Structure 1
């Protein structure tokens, strides 16, 4: 089933239309021919974006609104090329704010930057990724080495300056990625940044789903185990269109302390994931499907009443 929504509100005469199951299975499967246009389009996007970013950020400029705006544009185009559609719920966070999200894939960074651009705290391994690592470093990403606790603490103190300067900082407190169906334990240390800067924390829930089957978690997007960036991108370019559901929760006060913030954020994200999963049996709701036919019938009735 698919939940189609073209406007913020449905018309009074919306109809429930079941999506044919055979079409769901046919359109949901990965198809190699999708690579014929996605791979060239993504390559061209990289070929244009990275030289521009090198020219713009390579002059030692500070991260500002214009720099984040360029990154927001780049991320939005990349997601459209890969067939990932964003479905956002909840109030959009306003800077300064810390976002704490469950972590499924490197695509999480693209999605959150396309909605509300800011700086990120990422794992040290990402810094060595070709092209992506350099771009992330130029955008002010903080790379945490989980094997060096002291260096991580110093880095998180530096990250607090981002919040003090009135920007958005995004963390993934799990410290690793998951399959998107649940969340692991949250580390409390990253939340010390919000406590130090006295900034509110917004829980962010991320869930990748099949466009035609709301509520069913996608199995291609999770970047877990011994997966490689090149191999994951190759599979992703053949996948069917996907929906990334992003839910912004209500802000939490830094006065809770880092440990309580970690527990409460994990609880809220877990509850949000459960509500998304419960919404799997949604029937296609399309108020515009028969709009032309209804207009014709109304015109005929009006003509016959004269």
Structure 2
């Protein structure tokens, strides 16, 4: 019975999600048509994405707790641990941001259009040849007062730990003269159960060979989620700082506050069809 209910819940929410997606894209396309200035267009895209993210969180019973939020007008390079699309949705609902994602994502059907209309900044993670230009692109957006979100693990994970951080793009904050704004993302309740039970890992994490449609189907089958974005103290870095030391220190800050999935006493396995 529980599996059937989860399947029906997923189906209904997928249909609602598709309606939301159509509305999001139509409104974003209108913004694209009426806004000629590229920077103003990105600002409107990011604010528009925040509005839809908040609506989606309410509709799909995702409660977002924000602890120690930075000042609303503080521009900076926001970094955090990355588990999948849920933490992106949660982060987007808190404040308008420009997310850094891969050019590979841009080339993905549907997701590429969503990220384009969300004002994302694209980088080529598979090549080091363009790193200077991409670093410059992020730096320029930071100088213009945007809040840019970077996931320095460079991938989403299964939540076991926080992976070592990629270093180069983190230097954009120092080059722009803005702080790094670290936060830690934690699940505080899944399906009414406290904490982050291991049995729900594959329902909330998007990693490995799990496809996007599998990930979203499993997540929408859950009754409710409570997650927390805990912002840590902003960190000001300098261009002459050792990149490895900075990256490791930032990772340790986030890792120290992160709670990985916990094995439930019964050792149950969650529904994941």
Q: Does 1:91 align with 2:42?
A: no
Corresponding residue to 1:195 among 168, 174, 196: 174
**Which position in structure 1 is the counterpart of 2:270?**
none
Aligned partner of 1:214 among 154, 170, 194: 194
Paired residue for 1:170, among 128, 142, 149? 149
Q: Pairwise CA RMSD of aligned residues? A: 2.5
- Could you say if the C-alpha distance between residues 277 and 88 of structure 1 is closer, same or farther in structure 2, counting changes exceeding 3 Å? farther
TM (normalized to structure 2)? 0.83
Question: What is the DSSP-based 3-state SS (H/G/I as helix, E as strand, rest coil) of the residue aligned with 2:194?
Answer: strand
Per the alignment, residue 268 of structure 2 pairs with none
- What is the TM-score of this pair, normalised by structure 1? 0.75
Segment drifting more, 144-153 vs 254-263: 254-263
How many residues align structurally? Answer: 253
Higher mean C-alpha displacement, 123-132 vs 180-189:
123-132
1:93, distance to aligned residue in structure 2 (A): 4.6
Question: Which of 51, 62, 70 matches 2:26?
Answer: 51
C-alpha separation in 1, matches of 2:55 and 2:2: 23
User: Which residue in 1 is equivalent to 2:59?
Assistant: 81
SS of residue matched to 1:54: helix
Q: The residue matched to 1:150 in structure 2 has which SS?
A: coil
Determine the C-alpha separation between the residues in 2 that align with 1:106 and 1:213.
21
Paired with 2:218 and 2:103, the residues of 1 have a C-alpha distance of 24
Mapping of 1:264-275 within 5 angstroms?
264-274=249-259
Mapping for residues 223-262 of structure 1, pairs under 5 Å: 223-255=206-238, 256-262=241-247
Aligned-partner Cα distance in 2 for 1:28–1:146: 38
Where in structure 1 are there 5+ consecutive unaligned residues?
1-25, 281-306
Deviates more, 1:33-42 or 1:239-248: 33-42
Offset at residue 228 of structure 1 (A): 1.2
Unpaired runs of 5+ residues, structure 2, are 265-273
In the TM superposition, what is the alpha-carbon distance from 1:28 to its structure 2 partner? 11
Shift of 1:58: 4.1
Q: Which string of whole-angstrom CA distances, capped at 9 and with x for unpartnered residues, describes residues 77-113 of structure 1?
A: 2223333211111233543111011111023222111
Shift of 1:212: 2.6
Give the match's secondary structure for 1:149: coil
CA distance in 1, matches of 2:119, 2:85: 16
| Conserved 8 A contact 2:78-2:148 | yes
Encode CA deviations 1:104-148: one digit per residue, 9 max, x unaligned: 102322211110111111122211233331232244312222221
Question: Contact (CA 8 Å) 2:31, 2:44: kept in 1 or not?
Answer: no
Structure 1 distance, partners of 2:88, 2:37, is 22
Q: Which has the larger radius of gyration?
A: 1
1:1-306 to 2 correspondence within 5 Å?
A: 31-59=6-34, 60-64=36-40, 65-94=43-72, 95-208=74-187, 209-210=189-190, 212-217=192-197, 218-219=200-201, 220-255=203-238, 256-274=241-259
C-alpha distance 211-246 of structure 1, shift in aligned 2 (>3 A): farther
Describe the SS at the equivalent of 1:98. strand
Encode CA deviations 1:224-247: one digit per residue, 9 max, x unaligned.
011111121222221221112111
Contact 1:29 1:240 in 2 (8 A): no
Tell me if structure 2 keeps the 8 A contact 1:206–1:246.
Answer: yes
